[in-house]
Amino acid sequence: MATPVINYLAVLGAAVVSIVLGMLWYGPVFGKAWMKAAGISEKGAKKGMAKGFVGMVIVSLVFSYVLAHFVDYLDVTDFGGAWQLGFWVWLGFMATIQIGSYLWESRPFNLFLINAGYSLVQIVVLAWILAVWT
């Protein structure tokens, strides 16, 4: 197997975009619906914000780095390839794991839709960034 070619600046950029996208998705776009479906009050959401943000920075960097390997291994170089990669990673890994919250934890289906929708958009956008940023 060839040594992967990873653009670390693209990984960093993708991680930043992931965080900004998450702040928008779970803030002004779906924030109120997400908090209601998750049973979180606005006060409760703000309580663990610093710890959550630090965790998401780390998780976003790791996720972007691992996704960069998929982009490299599959030689994804354009939006069409990024869309396909993002969709299959989402369907095979993210959506199948996230549906467990709905099936086993009695969480509302709209919470699954909000979280799974974010995952799909996030993965496709990050795969695209990693594919075209050379």
Phi/psi at 63 (nearest 5 deg)?
-60, -45
Nearest to 122 by CA among 46, 31, 16: 16
3-state helix vs strand vs coil in the chain, percent to 5: 85, 0, 15
* Per-residue pLDDT at 74: 96
Q: What is the pLDDT of residues 64-123, one digit of tens each?
A: 999 999 999 999 999 999 999 999 999 999 999 999 988 999 899 999 999 999 999 999
* Calpha distance 6→12 (Å, rounded): 11
| CB distance 73 to 4 below 8 Å | yes
pTM reported for the whole predicted model: 0.91
* Calpha distance 95→112 (Å, rounded): 9
* Per-residue pLDDT at 44: 63
